[in-house]
Structure 1
Amino acid sequence: MYIALNRFKIIPNRHADFEKIWRNRETHLEKVPGFLSFNLIKGKTAQDYIIYASHTTWKSQQDFLAWTKSESFRRAHKNAGAHSDLYLGHPEFEGFDVVL
């Protein structure tokens, strides 16, 4: 299995807007080969941001990489820059192979 994680630093008074965007977002993941699960998770609160992460689980890294090159990926990310006022910086990607 493979876990793909994007970390976001969200301006504290904008976190409700960020959560609403994700709640109402069309991810187009359900029919993607190899996709297993999605969670939006909330982490620590610092003085000037709140950490969030999109967490997806895939059967393999190859399935994840194939999705990133697909039309489904393009549709899911077509408005990604529209809400840049919510973020401090760009999302930070991390990928993990599951070992246990």
Structure 2
Amino acid sequence: MFVVTNRIPVAEGHEADFEDRFRKRAHLIDQSPGFIRNEVHRPKPMKLDHSTGTWAPDTETQGYYEVKTWWRSFEDFVAWTKSPAFAEAHKNRAPKEMFAGPNKLEIHEVFLSTDEKTGPADKG
């Protein structure tokens, strides 16, 4: 199983519009072969004061939204990126001012999971 994470720095004041775009998405990815699930994570930058053990908002750190998709295989993800549905899903780009910088795409292979549905993924 593979997890693809798009880390997106959303500019201050554009959070609601960014989230609304995902609430209203066309769900084209949902029918793609090998697609498992999609999650969008809202940033909550926090910092720990180790001396007191307390948490507080970290106002000095840029938070990133994370758009995560889970795939049965990397090849399934690649096929999605080459599909007409992918082109359709990404044709209405958000305005540049919605972002505080470039996004970062990260791909990880799940080698261990405690998810009861998938069980341990470690084959090694």
Taking structure 2 as the reference length, the TM-score comes to: 0.73
Task: Give the strand-richer structure, 1 or 2.
Answer: 1
Q: Which residue of 2 aligns with 1:70?
A: 83
* Percent of aligned pairs sharing the same letter: 34
Alpha-carbon deviation of 1:37? 0.1
Matches within 5 A, 1:10-25: 10-25=10-25
User: Does the Cα contact within 8 Å between 1:11 and 1:49 map onto a contact in 2?
Assistant: no
| AA at the equivalent of 2:85 | S
User: Which is richer in helix?
Assistant: 1
> Superposition pairs for residues 1-100 of structure 1, below 5 Å?
1-45=1-45, 46-47=59-60, 49-80=62-93, 82-100=94-112
CA shift, 1:85, in A, is 1.3
- TM norm structure 1: 0.89
Once the two structures are superposed, residues 29-72 of structure 1 have per-residue CA deviations (whole angstroms, 9 ceiling, x without a partner) of 12100000000001244558431010000000110011101111
Instruction: Indicate how the Cα distance of structure 1 residues 52 and 5 shifts in structure 2: closer, same or farther if over 3 A, else same.
Output: same
Higher relative contact order (CA 8 A, sep 6+): 1
Distance (whole Å) between structure 1 residues aligned to residue 35 and residue 60 of structure 2: 35
The CA distance in 2 between the partners of 1:14 and 1:42, in whole Å, is: 13
Q: Aligned letter for 1:99?
A: F
Unpaired runs of at least 5, structure 2: 46-58, 113-124
CA-atom RMSD in angstroms: 1.6
* C-alpha contact (below 8 Å) 1:6/1:94 kept by paired residues: yes
